[in-house]
Amino acid sequence: MKEALVIVDMQRDFMPGGSLPVPDGDKIVPRLNEYVKLFVERGAKVFATKDWHPPNHKSFKEYGGPWPRHCVQGTEGAELHPDLKLPEDAEIVLKATKPDEEAYSAFQGTDFASRLRELGIDRIYVGGVATEYCVKATVLDGLRLGFEVYLLLDAVKGVRAEDAERAVEEMKGAGAKPVTLSQLKG
């Protein structure tokens, strides 16, 4: 089994102070850094996804979508949290990059699945934000595409606690395996 760590959307706009913040989203940065360290030690590849929208993206309220403007390509809000420590060879997955294309999942409209297969990776460990949106969509797509998917219970954060809990149950029901750092180290 070849594995990879997948860190979802840890961008400034999704952090407190950003335009579409996940409450306490920044609190999981130290834990994600511990996961990065562990997976690098294990020789695993690290991926980080980015919401990467053009300024006229359909998900923005001004264009009829549900969200305030966020993660516009090349802006500070689209940058990853400055304290997130990725290895040099980490790969960035950009999603929802066209005006009329929305994607919560890292697999949607990207070459992520083929890149994983190209590297022989069949097991992914997923953390980041937001639990009930992009994390959930990425986990469910990963399972659907035949990957073994672990959910990093102590390194995800949702917008609303109840929704996040429901999302975790849904992911488990679909076959995702919940795991914590201490379990992985133990």
Active site residue 2: no
Among residues 93 and 121, whose Cβ is nearest to Zn ion? 93
> Cβ(147)–Cβ(106) under 8 Å?
no
Q: Phi first, then psi: what are they for 65, rounded to 5°?
A: -90, 180
Q: Which is nearer to Zn ion, 51 or 141 (CB)?
A: 51
Q: Least separation, in Å, of the C-beta of 113 and Zn ion?
A: 20
Stretch that binds Zn ion, among 43-51, 86-94, 107-115, 163-171 (CB under 5 A): 43-51
Phi, psi of 53 (to 5 degrees): -95, 145
Question: How far is the C-alpha of 63 from the C-alpha of 23, rounded, in Å?
Answer: 25
> Which residues inside 69-128 make contact with Zn ion, applying CB under 5 A?
none
Q: Are 103 and 96 in contact (CB under 8 A)?
A: yes
Torsion angle of alpha carbons 103, 78, 131, 63, nearest 10°? -50
Question: Which residue in the set 9, 13, 26, 51 belongs to the binding site for Zn ion (CB under 5 A)?
Answer: 51
Q: Which among 49-57, 83-91, 105-113, 155-163 is the span making contact with Zn ion, rule CB under 5 A?
A: 49-57
- 9 makes contact with Zn ion (CB under 5 A): no
- Which of residues 96 and 113 has its CB atom nearest to Zn ion in the complex? 96
Contact 10, 80 (CB under 8 A): yes
| 45 classed as catalytic | no
97 three-class SS = coil
Q: Does 141 bind Zn ion (CB under 5 A)?
A: no
Residue 51 or 132 with smaller CB distance to Zn ion: 51
Stretch that binds Zn ion, among 8-16, 28-36, 44-52, 171-179 (CB under 5 A): 44-52
Q: What's the distance, Cα to Cα, between the start and end of the chain in Å?
A: 19
Q: Where does this chain bind Zn ion (CB under 5 A)?
A: 51
